[in-house]
Amino acid sequence: MASLQPVRGTHDILPEQERRHRLVQETAHDVASRYGFDEISLPIFEFTEVFARSIGETSDIVSKEMYTFSDRGDESITLRPEGTAGVARAFISNGLAQHLPLKFFYRGPMFRYERPQKGRQRQFHQVGVELLGVDQPQADVDIIALGAHVLEALNISDKATLELNTLGDPESRIAYREILVAYLRQYESSLSDDSRIRLEKNPLRILDSKNKEDRKIVQDAPTIFDSLNDASKDFFKTVCQGMDALKIPYTVNPHLVRGLDYYGHTAFEFTTDALGAQGALIAGGRYDGLIKQMGGPPTPGIGWAAGVERLAMMVNEPDAQNKPIAIVPVGDGQKERAQLIAHQLRHAGFSIELGYSGNMRKRLNRANKLNACAAIILGEDELAKGVAAVRDMATGDQQEVSLESLADSLARYRS
């Protein structure tokens, strides 16, 4: 029988890696809470329409990457490929319009059927934030600053570059679309099959194509800056001034677009080349048209999402959360009492490691391997006197401690 392996594009997150994931998620949550964001938990799957209507039928995500299936009720269900659409659906279905503005933080697994590569799997994890109900550019500044703050808190901001662009308001995008299409028509026969389809339905997505020939063509394409109206210019200028005021360095990348239908005005990415080929660590932007497009009231929004796997690959290895105290019964006669003492100390707030077998030497060796901070040695004579021997594993110092005052004596080792 062939050995069982995880499904392609999925992987087990073992304790060492899980500590890195937890560090990323808890750091992002802690920083987001300082900016007033509350955590929201969303279903891992939604009706397919949630993503088809929000992300767009011509996007790679919808057309190629979604895990979609019919359930037993013959409903079309999709494992979530991203978080923003789910937040927008929750806003609509829970009638939250009267509570604006709203700030949400989310985390959890996402699913996309794509070629697995470094830092990118078919089941992956994201943290993200969404700010709903504020249409002023100051919200964009705050959201981008939050992303920069997370990278700083993870001590990796020196390995990341902030790229900014504007997609303008709807009027500006319509004007730009005409100019861009006229340019791309000259090269239509050289475009990839996907880009020829996008040329009819959403030509701005061609700017984000990963195809080599497409990228050569768009390199000299006109930029949206030639089509921006005064309102869009002022909006983007205010965002850039906000970055300058907060001393957050950035570069303007006129070819940076979002691959989703509902974005407008600010688009941004924190990118890095520390993982090999340049890739995004945090990506986001403004999506004022999303909630209306999904059938809700017109509601401005802006947010970002970050890949936990990629960030976890860049952070320093965190220490194990707790250094346990090991309880070491000298013989079989002390096992029952050892388990009782472990139970009491755990309830008192201590991290206790109770070995289940082996002589005293083997148990102490195991305590060393677990990086235990102390060992409680229980022998027949000690228990008869109502005491235990407490050994500091770092110094080797050992002293007898009354069982009644054991918890107080161990206070410096409390997790």
Q: In the prediction, which pLDDT does 1 show?
A: 44
pLDDT at 286 exceeding the cut of 80: yes
Radius of gyration for the chain, computed over Cα atoms and rounded to the nearest angstrom: 28
Q: Number of C-alpha atoms within 13 angstroms, CB side, residue 33?
A: 8
pLDDT band at 211 (very low <50, low <70, confident <90, very high): confident
**pLDDT tier at 61, thresholds 50, 70, 90:** low
Would you list the domain boundaries of the chain? Answer: 15-169+229-314, 325-413
| d(C-alpha 257, C-alpha 82), whole Å | 17
**Confidence (pTM):** 0.88
Q: How confident is the model at residue 63 (pLDDT cuts 50, 70, 90)?
A: low
34, pLDDT greater than 60: yes
**Residue from 346, 292, 300, 308 nearest 83 by CA:** 308
Q: Are 367 and 326 in contact (CB under 8 A)?
A: yes
Distances in Å between the Cα of 115 and the Cα atoms of 165, 314, 358 are 28, 21, 47
Asked if pLDDT for residue 59 goes beyond 60, the answer is: no
pLDDT digits (tens, 9 = 90+) for 66-108: 889 999 999 999 999 999 999 999 999 999 999 999 999 999 9
What is the pLDDT at residue 207?
A: 87
Task: Give pLDDT, residue 4.
Answer: 86
Q: HSE-up of 155 (CA within 13 Å, CB side)? A: 7
The CATH topology of domain 15-169+229-314 is BirA Bifunctional Protein; domain 2 (3.30.930)
Task: Give the pLDDT band (50/70/90) at residue 60.
Answer: low
> What is the rounded CA–CA span in Å between residue 30 and residue 285?
22
pLDDT band at 51 (very low <50, low <70, confident <90, very high): confident
Those residues whose C-beta lies under 8 Å from the C-beta of residue 183, and which sit 6 or more positions away, are: 221, 222
CATH node for 325-413: 3.40.50.800
The sign one gets for the Cα dihedral 253, 259, 264, 268 is: negative
Confidence of residue 387 (pLDDT cuts 50, 70, 90): very high
- pLDDT above 90 covers a percentage of the chain that reads 65
Question: pLDDT tens digit string along 14-23?
Answer: 988 999 999 9
Most confident of 202-206, 255-259, 349-353, 355-359: 349-353
Note whether 385 and 339 are within 8 A (CB).
no
124-168 pLDDT per residue, tens: 999 999 999 999 999 999 999 999 999 999 999 999 999 999 999
